Amino acid sequence: MSSSAPSSAVPASARSAGPTSAELLDFVRRTAADTALITSLPLDPEGRTWVRLDGPGGSEAWLIGWPPGTGTGWHDHAESVGAFLTAAGALKENSLAARLPTDGWKTLELSDGVDRARLLTAGEGRAFGRNHVHEVLNESPSEHAVSVHAYYPPLPRIRRYSRTGDVLRLESVERPEDWQ
pLDDT digits (tens, 9 = 90+) for 101-115: 877 889 999 999 999
Q: Binding site annotation covers 149?
A: no
**Residue 16: pLDDT over 90:** no
Domain-located, residue 139: yes
Percent of the residues in the chain that have a pLDDT greater than 90, as a whole number: 81
Q: Binding site annotation covers 132?
A: no
Spatial separation of the C-alpha atoms in residues 5 and 66, rounded to whole Å: 49
Report the predicted TM-score, pTM, of the whole model to 2 decimal places. Answer: 0.87
The pLDDT score that the predictor gives to residue 180 is 60
CATH assignment of the domain containing 133: 2.60.120.10
Q: How many domains does the chain have?
A: 1
- Domain range enclosing 54: 18-97+106-179
Q: DSSP letter string over 120-158?
A: EETT-EEEE-TT--EEEE---SS--EEEEEEEES--S-E
* Average confidence (pLDDT) over 54-76: 97
The pLDDT score that the predictor gives to residue 12 is 44
Q: Do 163 and 108 meet the contact criterion of CB atoms below 8 Å apart?
A: no
pLDDT band at 176 (very low <50, low <70, confident <90, very high): confident
